[in-house]
Amino acid sequence: MRKIRRLPDSELDIMLALWEGHPDMSRMDIEAVVNGSPERKLAPTTINSLLARLERKGFVSVRKAGRNNLYTPLVSREDYCRQESRTVLERLYANSLENFVASLYNGRTIGRDELKRLDEFLEELGKGNPDGQR
């Protein structure tokens, strides 16, 4: 898998709209999703600029349909999240999942019930591992 570049928040907002939407979304479709949130209101020209950047970076494809451009993500949400997770783990937690979970727990971001579910999840993952290790 090729290295996926980290996106600034404004471009990530556009990608989130595309991932939540459908293939071949118009700028107006994307605008409706992005501006459907009270925290964010982007002008049509800003959305066009962000889409052009995302196309140059290889995150979206564009095709002409009449007078509209239709946009489709070329990078999946799963691939982007996987890359971002790996980057955060490497840069902030010295590649230690234990340090990451400890930080969440000590910061009161994760509670005991969530830790229990995480333990059950890891146990289930371990069952699928041929050597029996997590």
Task: Give the C-alpha separation, 1 to 79, whole Å.
Answer: 9
pLDDT > 70 fraction of the chain, expressed in percent and rounded: 94
- Model confidence, pTM: 0.78
pLDDT band (50, 70, 90) for residue 134: very low
- CATH for 9-73? 1.10.10.10
Q: Where are the domains of the chain?
A: 9-73, 77-127
Task: Give the C-alpha separation, 70 to 68, whole Å.
Answer: 6
Which has more confidence, 121 or 71? 71
Cβ-defined contacts of 111-116 (< 8 Å, 24+): none
**The predicted structure's pLDDT at residue 133:** 53
Per the listing, tokens 């095709």 go with 63
Please check the confidence at residue 73 and state whether its pLDDT lies above 70.
yes
CA dihedral 16, 46, 54, 67 (to 10 degrees): 100
**The predicted structure's pLDDT at residue 101:** 78
Mean pLDDT of 86-108: 83
Cβ-defined contacts of 97-103 (< 8 Å, 24+): none
Mean pLDDT of 64-82: 95
**The predicted structure's pLDDT at residue 82:** 92
